[in-house]
Amino acid sequence: MISTVAFTTLGCPKNEVDTDLMRAAVERAGYYTQIYDPADASQLEGELPAAIVVNTCSFIQEATEASIEAIFDALNIVTPRSDAGSLHPAVTDGRAGTLALTKVGVKGAGSRPVVIVAGCIVNRYADELAEEMPEVAAFIRVGDCDTLVTTLTTHLPHHAEGPLQRVGESARSYQYLRIADGCDRKCTFCTIPAIRGPYTSRSPEDILDQARRLVAAGTRELVVIAQDIGRYGSDFTADSTLGTPRSDAGSGERGRSPLHELLEQLAVIPGLVRLRLMYLQPEGLTDELLDVMARHEAIVNYLEIPLQHASPRILKAMGRHPRDVAAFPQQLEKARALLPGLTVRTTLIAGFPAETQEEFDQLCTFVEDCQFDYVGVFPYSPEEGTRAAQLPDQLDDATRLERAQIVRDIADGIGWIRSSERVGQTAQVLVEGYSADEGVLIARAAFQTPDIDGIVRIDLGDEAEKLSTEDYLQNWHNRYHEVQFTDTILYDMDAVLVEV
């Protein structure tokens, strides 16, 4: 019997792309693959996969702890079940993101899947993990698909001689389209450059080919991602067309960005309905970008721009550019004028070392003035290996958490009002699921990024009882329908179908 390899993914959309690449490599090696959700106990009721790959996140301490818990969850999967004991993680030293584990109990008898740990946590803590988790078959660094396949073929001899096609999964309504990886920025709080290396743009030919294949396979929305999409092509030669890497691109250097040229080509792919942009740094909000967004209906009027703070001194201490944030309100005003209904998301950090009350108040006022639709707020996390972790005047945990919650409350108060203002409006939404218990279709509007910004629940009324799985897949799944919003619960929207 051909072995099945299950994947579970933690962290950001970039990790989901890494998982897709690993799955493709494993399928080419002759194994079946599936997605494993540790929270779904029903997945363990049938035949277990032969191996589980845990693709981890280690951006901040909280993400590291969640990854460690997921690894131990995978190690505790045994068939038949045993009551002899289990492995449990306990982070015993949370200072500056250091890794220290305590294992309680022992693994019970019985067979279990081969467990492989991949991704960001391996890049940060490979040696410590190998010492603390001998039960793990291998630790795979970000992007090392070859070692993953070698490990699987060593432990799982039952595989096909040729590539296997993925089975049992319906067409996914959206896909992430990674146009670059790595980061050359020197943000003092961030571990990403150390984990993923320097900024490296993909060739436009590869990107366009992948995009066309995804749309041809049924994808209706492409989400363009990178650590900073605005720097796309800055590592290409200055006198070339897209696709030639620069040999002299220095760390942190701001070269030209042909992002708008790439978007011009992506936006006209036949069959593509939505093209969404994520992770655009503030200096990337250029007139050229706004122009191409305004001219192409497929490009969603949605921007995700991580600003991190509003205080010039704090931004400088973060290794960021205060002038970009100072100019942002004017840029935002221009963008909202050019792009009707523009949705704006940002991320902010509260409690950075030496943040004064005045600087914190400045951050709160900035949030109120900009009227963001969505804000991700994080308490500062001192991460091992970062310069910010070594700065003096570190704020205590309670202060960081309190300040983050205050900013979050301000942002949510604004966001919920902006969400409620959509009640009564109509919009095209993309249907992605069905809840039989509630009798509603699950969908997303253009102002909702997958897995982040909430959902739309479409009430089918009496028709809900007649909806079979076959009917849903044939007539609803991965299709656009016009709805009218009837109510809002926080960031989720209730809606009814608009009869044609």
Question: Structural domain boundaries of the chain?
Answer: 4-155, 174-420, 426-497
* β partners of residue 482: 428
CA separation for the pair 287, 334 (Å, rounded): 9
Nearest Cα residue to 222 out of 274, 170, 279, 297: 274
Count the Cβ atoms, other than its own, within 10 Å of residue 118: 28
- Of the candidates 170, 215, 223, the one whose C-alpha atom is nearest the C-alpha of residue 12 is 223
Burial track 365-375 (b if 16+ CB lie within 10 A, e otherwise)? ebbeebebbbb
- State both tokens at 437: 């218990």
Report the C-alpha gap between 312 and 82 in whole angstroms.
57
Please provide the distance, in angstroms rounded to a whole number, between the alpha carbons at the two ends of the chain: 50
**CATH number for the domain running over 174-420:** 3.80.30.20
| CATH level 2 (architecture), domain 426-497 | Beta Barrel (2.40)
What's domain 4-155's architecture?
3-Layer(aba) Sandwich (3.40)
Per-residue three-class SS string for the chain: CCCEEEEEECCCHHHHHHHHHHHHHHHHCCCEEEECCCCCHHHHCCCCCCEEEEEECCCCHHHHHHHHHHHHHHHCCCECCCCCCCCCCCECCCHHHCCCECCCCCCCCCECCEEEEEEHHHHHHHHHHHHHCCCCCEEECCCCHHHHHHHHHHHCCCCCCCCCCCCCCCCCCEEEEECEECCCCCCCCCCHHHHHCCCEECCHHHHHHHHHHHHHCCCCEEEEECCCHHHCCCCECCCCCCCCECCCCCCCCCCCCCHHHHHHHHCCCCCCCEEEECCCCHHHCCHHHHHHHHHCCCECCEEECCCECCCHHHHHHCCCCHHHHHCHHHHHHHHHHHCCCCEEEEEEEECCCCCCHHHHHHHHHHHHHHCCCEEEEEECCCCCCCCHHHCCCCCCHHHHHHHHHHHHHHHHHHHHHHHHCCCCCEEEEEEEEEECCCCEEEEECCCCCCCCCCCEEEECHHHHHHCCHHHHHHHCCCCEEEEEEEEEECCEEEEEECCC
What's the chain's length in residues?
Answer: 500
What CA–CA distance (Å, rounded) separates 237 from 245? 6
Give the residue among 87, 86, 89 at the shortest CA–CA distance from 65.
89
Give the span between the Cα atoms of 495 and 483, in whole angstroms. 6
What's the Cα-to-Cα distance from 255 to each of 222, 239, 245, 246, rounded to whole Å?
A: 26, 12, 12, 10
402 residue type, one letter: E
pLDDT at 47: 73
Of 282, 25, 8, the closest CA to residue 163 belongs to: 25
Place of tokens 């605005």: 230
Query: Residues 160-174, buried b or exposed e (16+ Cβ, 10 A)?
Result: eeeebeeeeeeebbb
List the one residue out of 379, 287, 378, 362 whose CA is nearest residue 326. Answer: 362
Q: How far apart are CA 167 and CA 171, in angstroms?
A: 11
* pLDDT tens, residue order, the chain (500 aa): 788 899 999 988 888 999 999 998 998 889 988 888 766 656 655 678 899 999 999 888 888 999 999 998 888 875 443 443 444 444 444 444 445 554 444 344 446 889 999 999 999 998 999 998 999 999 999 989 999 999 999 999 877 766 665 555 556 789 999 999 999 999 999 998 888 889 999 999 999 999 999 999 889 999 999 999 999 998 886 554 554 444 344 333 444 568 999 999 999 999 999 999 999 999 999 999 999 999 999 999 999 999 999 999 999 999 999 998 999 999 999 999 999 999 999 999 999 999 999 999 999 999 999 999 999 999 999 998 999 999 999 999 999 999 999 999 999 999 999 999 999 999 999 999 888 878 889 999 999 999 899 999 999 887 777 777 788 878 888 889 999 999 999 999 999 999 75
For residue 126, CA distances in Å to 139, 364, 456 come to 7, 39, 41
Cα 427 to Cα 421: distance, rounded to the nearest angstrom:
13
Calpha distance 197→14 (Å, rounded) = 14
Residues 6+ positions from 239 with CB-CB distance below 8 Å:
none
